Structure 1
């Protein structure tokens, strides 16, 4: 096959691949569709088309054309070599562009390159008569499954978390025990939607917070969440020498010094499910 014919066929393969990619990406990346499926699908197709078209044209097409001239030098393993020629550059591009992002984003360039590879194999490699030529069709679906697995896992974890009881804190301060219904929120990926109330404050003379404890010396505090099996870490904020002190507790026990002023102490328990459980309690020790 001469070079001009290779070039023309590769342009045809690239055009078909670009069209399929633009049609396919809204189904992969479109998240949840609602009532107006067609309208939403067309909108996403235009959006992803505008965003990905430069990459498809300036990266996908040259790689696809180049593979045709490289394969002229090989008589065996053409499908495998063609696969490497398409996917390795896509992997490099994915790692370069999305190295700090989710794994799924790295897979998207590979998914696009696999579509180019499949169309190229089915259209261009006509001399390949074996079944191997047609088994390449499963490649994009395999990559798509890899892309969707994290979403399935997150959905399963979310459903499981929704069924859990709301945490109840058992607070023990120097032998006095109370049950507290704390505030809770979700702090997945350090979400700004879960602000932490970590500012302790001095107490007035009259009772001010719901749970106030009177101690003569240092306060020995134990925090338990008996209605959960999840692991959690405890962070405590209190005022000492006119400054806010922060301590991260190893286990569930900590000690507040005897000399600190009367104050509302802030406690945040961070669960291994990214749930934050926060509450405060008052210390009364006569230090004004």
Structure 2
């Protein structure tokens, strides 16, 4: 009986000691991850390739048997990075909502489709335009004001055209039954109304040409904005990858509590946007062995990054 109790006591003591050692091991690794997180944040801030976007937060975790995970939240200068990427992937021109159609004009002349080329940039675009492209948002604000004026003027012209056409119909009907004296008077009125209608059509054409010019200019500006975003995206990503890989090569030895057969994963949260506009993480998975080799200068930071498994999920 005493032997049984002694055996149970030894097992309990051994189990408690193992649990304590395991907890201490994870605490130590947790501290190492926090230190590495601070090093990464400092490195990314010091080596930032663009002021437009930055890493705002780094979270760390550990998956036993898998490895350490660093999750990066990225924010733009004027809001969440995801919004910037959405405009990048979709393209500004494609995402501009169509202008609300004007009330239909029951006429056979050009005024029947008076609003078909009206082009308005999304006001939402102005809300998150960067300071570096403030001239674009200002130009869009000016253009949108002019577009509203043109649309109002077009509606007024369309109303005037309907009134003139109604007069012409009335004159044509009355001519069928008028005497000679009245016909002469009606024909003079008809000629005057016809000339008025021509003037209205000329004004409408001038407005239509101006709308086309504004549309062309806004498209040009938005394409420039899109190109600017693409360049900023590439610049940020290049800077992030360079800083991340160089930091691992310089300070990766600090993760002594991470088993050699495990990995270090870097996750850019909600960084990518797929074709269905679903948000995706951009993930980098490095082997602990490669990081050790880089620390020992057996491979360089570029090779470390090349060896990483990079994918979206």
| TM-score, normalised by the number of residues in structure 1 | 0.28
Question: Of Structure 1 and Structure 2, which has the larger fraction of its residues in strand?
Answer: 1
Question: Of Structure 1 and Structure 2, which has the larger fraction of its residues in helix?
Answer: 2
Structure number, greater radius of gyration: 2
| TM-score, normalised by the number of residues in structure 2 | 0.26
